[in-house]
């Protein structure tokens, strides 16, 4: 079935409280998608953000971001009074998320709500804690310790705790019992609200496309509490870390710094941790996009401590075996393989065996007629065709930065005469392709310029901040998108 999809993270939803939340505006956005005839809503990882405010660098692969908890829902549950959250400063720029301010104030509000929270009045709280105990208990302790240590990374804590010694952990659980309860409450509220929102979307005929990074952050509960999962030394420090080698886009490569997996350990355990992770993601999303999918076939390793990715080598990953076992245990998986980057014949073979749809990004296509990202070269319908991803410029910003040769080719290919006509022509190109799903960022429908860019890879400080306004989602825009879907049978 041909479908269309809009990519917009929860953080970008309209909100009076500095960042998008899972309340009224989220439900209204679902209504907008329904009116537009859009069948999929793609978001970025729901995880708590850490370094650089990136949802791809998180304190946990399973936890939800506290910033997305809607205060007005807590007010309706009599856990907050309106003035208790409305009186805070949530930022002066309605177009950007001020993460430092959100961090400063969000937990203060949530602590007020927690002070009034009576578990006996929420009968599903106990069930939530029991069903999620395998990750929730350690996460709640980890966050309690992090707050106690002024936000420092776990490897900067006292040695007994940072090395996760049994006696020190037992003492910490007693000492921080109330704080642990607070972080469990946050996760309960997050998932309660997320479940309601996802159900509303599904009941409206809309699937949620979620995203999971291939790697964990170094400063994460997984790296702290389960060091055996990673390629660590005896001091629980990485031996080598993740990244990408130098290429035409980056002469020094990309140094991500994430710890790499000890795939031999995972293999001995029949990839249980990874299968549990996929299972969790499959429950909270309808379709799971796995970032950097090629890393399962082979992955680039950089010595820990290096300042760039120039020195490094490739190691063999678990390949198709992981997904074969996952489907044995979990059944058929609804996965998108982010198959961008350096794709070798071996990676192609793994992708063919998995059978998951890959990605085609039209912004990468306008070099010449042989480019694989242009729709006339698609070899099957088994793709998600993106105008651009969260790592790309908005279409309007991209056109402004095009070189003369690419611009000339794009005009010819798209059949337009003016530079200003290119962005919507690219959207039509994706929608008209044979790809099963066509995807555009909301910025491309709002005609956002460079200031609407969500993320510029290998930079920090200005990313993940894009916000929308309630006035953006007009009946006229819904009608425009619906007409597009009708023309191209999506």
Residues involved in catalysis: 291, 338, 391
d(CA 335, CA 158): 40
Q: For residue 61, which of 189, 213, 180, 238 has the smallest C-alpha distance?
A: 213
DSSP-assigned states of every residue in 429-451: HHHTSS-SEEEEEHHHHTT--GG
Strand ranges, E, within 297-415: 298-303, 313-316, 335-337, 358-361, 383-386
H-run or E-run covering 326: helix 320-330
Strand partners, 40: 5, 207
Q: For residue 350, which of 325, 323, 320, 328 has the smallest C-alpha distance?
A: 320
What would the two tokens of residue 332 be?
């058929």
Only one residue has tokens 């998608």, namely 33
Q: Which residues of 144-162 are buried (b: 16+ CB within 10 A; e: fewer)?
A: bbbeeeeeebbbebeeebb
Angle at 223 between CA 255 and CA 143, to 5 degrees: 110
d(CA 434, CA 428): 12
Q: For residue 457, which of 47, 6, 52, 13 has the smallest C-alpha distance?
A: 52
H-run or E-run covering 7: strand 3-7
- The answer to whether the CB of 312 falls within 8 A of the CB of 264 is no
Q: For residue 481, which of 375, 387, 351, 364 has the smallest C-alpha distance?
A: 387
CA atoms within 13 A on the CB side of 275: 19
- The answer to whether the CB of 42 falls within 8 A of the CB of 211 is yes
């Amino acid at each position: 079935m041909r479908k269309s999809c809009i990519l917009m993270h929860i953080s970008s939803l309209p909100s009076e409280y500095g960042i998008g939340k899972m309340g009224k505006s989220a439900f209204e956005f679902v209504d907008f998608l329904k009116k537009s005839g859009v069948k999929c809503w793609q978001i970025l990882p729901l995880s708590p953000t850490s370094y650089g405010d990136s949802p791809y660098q998180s304190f946990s692969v399973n936890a939800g971001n506290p910033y997305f908890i809607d205060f007005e829902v807590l007010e309706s549950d009599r856990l907050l009074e309106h003035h208790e959250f409305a009186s805070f400063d949530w930022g002066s720029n309605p177009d950007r998320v001020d993460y430092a301010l959100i961090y400063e104030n969000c937990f203060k509000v949530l602590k007020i709500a927690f002070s009034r929270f009576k578990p006996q009045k929420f009968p599903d709280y106990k069930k939530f804690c029991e069903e999620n105990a395998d990750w929730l208990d350690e996460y709640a302790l980890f966050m309690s310790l992090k707050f106690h240590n002024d936000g420092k990374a776990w490897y900067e804590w006292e040695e007994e705790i940072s090395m996760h010694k049994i006696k020190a952990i037992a003492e910490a659980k007693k000492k921080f019992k109330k704080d642990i309860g607070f972080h469990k409450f946050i996760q309960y509220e997050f998932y309660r609200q997320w479940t309601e929102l996802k159900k509303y979307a599904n009941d409206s005929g809309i699937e949620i496309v979620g995203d999971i990074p291939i790697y964990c952050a170094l400063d994460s509960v997984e790296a702290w509490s389960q060091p055996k999962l990673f390629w660590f030394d005896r001091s629980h420090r990485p031996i080598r870390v993740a990244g990408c080698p130098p290429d035409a886009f980056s002469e020094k490569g990309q140094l991500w710094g994430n710890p790499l997996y000890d795939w031999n350990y995972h293999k001995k355990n029949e990839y249980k941790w990874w299968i549990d992770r996929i299972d969790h993601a499959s429950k909270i999303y309808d379709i799971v996009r796995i970032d950097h999918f090629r890393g399962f076939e082979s992955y680039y390793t950089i010595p820990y401590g290096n300042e760039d990715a120039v020195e490094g080598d490739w190691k063999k990953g678990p390949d198709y075996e992981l997904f074969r076992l996952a489907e044995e245990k979990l059944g058929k998986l609804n996965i998108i393989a982010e198959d961008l980057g350096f794709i070798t014949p071996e990676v192609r073979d793994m992708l063919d065996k998995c059978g998951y749809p890959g990605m085609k990004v039209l912004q990468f296509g306008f070099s010449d007629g042989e480019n694989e990202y242009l729709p006339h070269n698609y070899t099957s319908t088994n793709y998600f065709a993106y105008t651009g991803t969260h790592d790309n410029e908005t279409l309007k910003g991209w056109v402004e930065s095009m070189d003369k040769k690419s611009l000339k080719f794009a005009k010819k290919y798209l059949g337009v005469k003016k530079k200003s006509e290119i962005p919507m022509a690219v959207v039509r190109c994706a929608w008209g392709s044979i790809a099963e799903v066509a995807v555009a960022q909301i910025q491309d429908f709002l005609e956002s310029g460079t200031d609407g860019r969500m993320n510029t890879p290998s930079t920090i400080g200005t990313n993940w901040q894009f916000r929308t306004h309630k006035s953006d989602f007009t009946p006229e825009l819904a009608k425009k998108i619906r007409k597009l879907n009708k023309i191209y049978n999506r």
